[in-house]
Amino acid sequence: MRDKGQNGLPADVYLSFVSSLYGNRQTLFVGMLSHVITFSFVYAKTDDPFFLVCSALVVLVWSLRAYGMRCFDRVDTATLDMDGIRVWENRYNLGAVGTTLVLGSACGYSLLVSRDSFAELACISVTLATMVSVVGRNYGSRRAVDYITLSACIPMVFGFLALQDFYHAVLAVLILPFILTTRMMANGVRAFLYKNVLAAREIATIAERFDTALNNMPHGLFMLDADQRILVANRRACELLHLGNQERLKDCHLDVVLRFGVRNTFLDAEQSRAILRQLDELLKGERSRALVQVTDALYLEFTASTRENGGAVLIFEDVTARVRAENKILHMVRYDTLTGLPNRTWFAEIVQAALAERRKPGTVGFMVLDVDDFKHVNDMRGHITGDRLLCAIAERIRRMAGDKAIAAHLMGDEFMLFFPNEANRRDLEARMRRFHEQLRGTYDVDGTNLQVSFSVGAVTVPSGEFRLEDMQIRADLALFETKSRAKGGFTLFEQEMDARYVDRQKLKEELREALAANALSVAYQPMFLPDGSRIECCEALSRWVHPERGPVSPEVFIRVAEEMGIVSSITRFMIHRACADCATWPAHMSVSVNLSVQDLRDTALVTLVAEALEASGLEAHRLHLEVTESCLMEEPVKVRTILQELRARGITIAIDDFGTGYSSLSYLDQLPLDLVKIDRSFVRNICEDSRRFQLLRGTVNLSRELGLRIVIEGVETREQLALLNKHGCADLVQGYVFAAPMTATALRDLTETLARAKGGASVRRPGRQVA
């Protein structure tokens, strides 16, 4: 490699070369002793004081050089620039040249003055020996090599030449190749070392960068040899496993290190063995990665890659945040966000796992709970209160279930439970009933006590026959039976319910076909003046005569239609038919049609009524529309808006079955009403129960104070009618005391009979007068 000279060297390389001049100081001391001893012997041989002076000069120069080297030791070399380094190089060269100049001078003196063969041999030998050390000691400075070589050899050359002897002249000439060879050897060593210094510097730079990257990477790293001993460990690995100083880990076995690490994390022996087993499988290639839970607050994920020499690189990272996020997402997927109970999908998996863990067959139970009248809570107290009530119910269910049952939130206000641990059906049914009894009661929500009851459908089967989908269908059937009988009850599934369910599904299809075929009909129940002299209005009632079942009760098929979402089709049929029929009645008579909850969800009802009135030519005030309190509880603002628009068009609005729902009196003031139809439950036993009659009179008086007309439903006896008339409780009376529901033809005959009974009073019909 070509020598760039000192000026062409990088500062750090130049400094390293100059620093090498000040190293290995023992050789200077040995050289000084050799020179002094040699000159002493020469003096003893020649008795020439010149050689004593040379000895003294050698000692003096060595002392100055030793002092200079101690000064160099105290210098902060990191602060030296090129000029500063050159100063120290020149100081060294000055001392070195001083020594070799003494040696060369002694050689020349022995050749020219002393002429003693021993002196010549001794001086030349020690000088040439010193020259040999130039390559090994002074290669770091090209100038030092040149100065030392020339200062030592030039006096000898002049000495040999001054003898004017052919053979001595040859020796003088031969010293020149020696000088060149020494210089070339020193330069070669310097160039070689320069190349290695650069390589070492590059390696050090790479190593520093690697070390920086290694110790600043977010992952922990172990580099292992074939025996799983640690060759390299980064700082992050020690931090994650609480291993202390990373330098201590070199050549330690991985098993020992990990045992020490997990021991510092307060794991028990079994957990430690499980972690080490996972990592052993990873290093053997039996798995691609290993997720290790070190503590509740630390999850580490390990990966490994093998090396050609049989070793491996083990990388691991703290994935606690990711695991927590995944667990949170998994919790959101598995659990209901409101109640914290398992959702249906996760419930199914838990149930299957519980069944798989059973060691012997037995009876298991499944039940569905429905919160009674939960919609009323939402409507009256707001959805926030409703949500908090569901949370309170869920908490009580969770606490009562414990480890004896598995609870879940099905949807809305429905919950379900699985009972896996009972041995026989009787005990299981008793336990499920006790659970139902203990669950209902008072719930404190935001300082308000709410009385809550639950309708329950349950099913018990042998554990080997449990299928969640089938069990839910059966439990729903039992729940339907509970709601049909009386809310708040408990019904255990029986096979007859399945048959009734199939029959009900068939009835739904038949009802759909009947509507398509226009097979429904209308019956009318008159509303009389209290003295029975005239019919003022008729309530239109839908009728369905099934070709095989015969007459189907409206309570049955109307409820079925509501379940199917087709009750509005029945309403459409009823309004059009009632308007058309009423248009043929005397002008003083009106017709009343009942509306369902579904009808009042859509403003299309207003359009439907307008179309029916236009098609029949009926005056708007002769059409009465009846709504129940249950209709008003759902979306009250929208219902109020629709009713106000209908009333603005001249249609009469009546509230039906008044007094049977919640907060009945508030509707009288809030809604656009014209009529109040007092439910038959108020009329029953009014002759025997004075308190009930007083309640009826209070309701009548309040309604009249608000300007509303009163229709009393369910009047069946003359005694009831007489009592009502005596106290003037009714504007209109509807009930069997006057007439049952009848066909349109029978109604026409009845109106004609009443007209004749009044002595020939005229009854106006479209197109003709009826006497």
**312-326, 391-405, 651-665: range with lowest mean pLDDT:** 651-665
Choose between 738 and 294: higher pLDDT. 738
Q: What is the pLDDT of residue 667?
A: 66
Alpha-carbon separation of residue 502 from 477, 497, 499, 670 (angstroms): 10, 9, 5, 43
The per-residue pLDDT of the chain, averaged, comes to 83
Residue partners of 6: CB distance under 8 A and separation at least 6: 14, 17, 86, 89, 141, 142, 143
Percent of the chain residues topping a pLDDT of 90: 23
User: Please, are residues 564 and 768 in contact by the beta-carbon 8 Å criterion?
Assistant: no
- 768: pLDDT confidence band, cut at 50, 70 and 90? very low
Alpha carbon of residue 406 to chain centroid = 24
SS (H, E, C) 336-367: CCCCCCECHHHHHHHHHHHHHHCCCCCEEEEE
Residue 222 clears pLDDT 50, i.e. is over it:
yes
DSSP letter at 608?
H
pLDDT tens digit sequence for 46-67: 888 988 998 899 899 888 888 8
Pairing of strands 763-765, 454-462: unpaired
Alpha-carbon separation of residue 53 from 37, 50, 106 (angstroms): 13, 5, 10
For 505, counting Cβ atoms within 10 Å of its Cβ (0-12 exposed, 13-18 middle, 19+ buried), the class is exposed
- 769: pLDDT confidence band, cut at 50, 70 and 90? very low
Q: What is the pLDDT of residue 368?
A: 93
pLDDT tens digit sequence for 383-410: 888 899 999 999 999 999 888 899 999 8
Quick one: how many helices (H) and strands (E) in the chain? 27, 23
- 261: pLDDT confidence band, cut at 50, 70 and 90? low
| Phi-psi region at 76: left, alpha or beta (left = phi > 0; alpha = psi -120 to 50) | beta
Helix, strand or coil for residue 703? Answer: helix
Residue 556 clears pLDDT 90, i.e. is over it:
no
DSSP letter at 553?
P
Q: Highest mean pLDDT: which of 331-340, 522-531, 602-611?
A: 522-531
Residue 56 CB neighbour total at 10 angstroms: 13
Q: What is the pLDDT of residue 761?
A: 46
pLDDT tens digit sequence for 212-221: 777 778 788 8
Q: What is the pLDDT averaged over residues 721-738? A: 92
- 455: pLDDT confidence band, cut at 50, 70 and 90? very high
Instruction: Quote the CA–CA distance of 115 and 683 in Å, as a whole number.
Output: 162
The two structure tokens encoding residue 239: 């931090």
Alpha-carbon separation of residue 167 from 109, 156, 172, 304 (angstroms): 19, 14, 9, 77
Q: What is the pLDDT of residue 89?
A: 79
Rg (CA), the chain: 57
Strand partners, 21: none
**131-135, 406-410, 507-511: range with lowest mean pLDDT:** 131-135
Residue 503 CB neighbour total at 10 angstroms: 11
Instruction: Quote the CA–CA distance of 636 and 682 in Å, as a whole number.
Output: 25
Q: Among 66, 69, 59, which residue's Cα sits nearest to residue 35?
A: 59
Helix, strand or coil for residue 658? Answer: strand
* Chain position carrying tokens 């990592």: 279
Residue partners of 206: CB distance under 8 A and separation at least 6: none
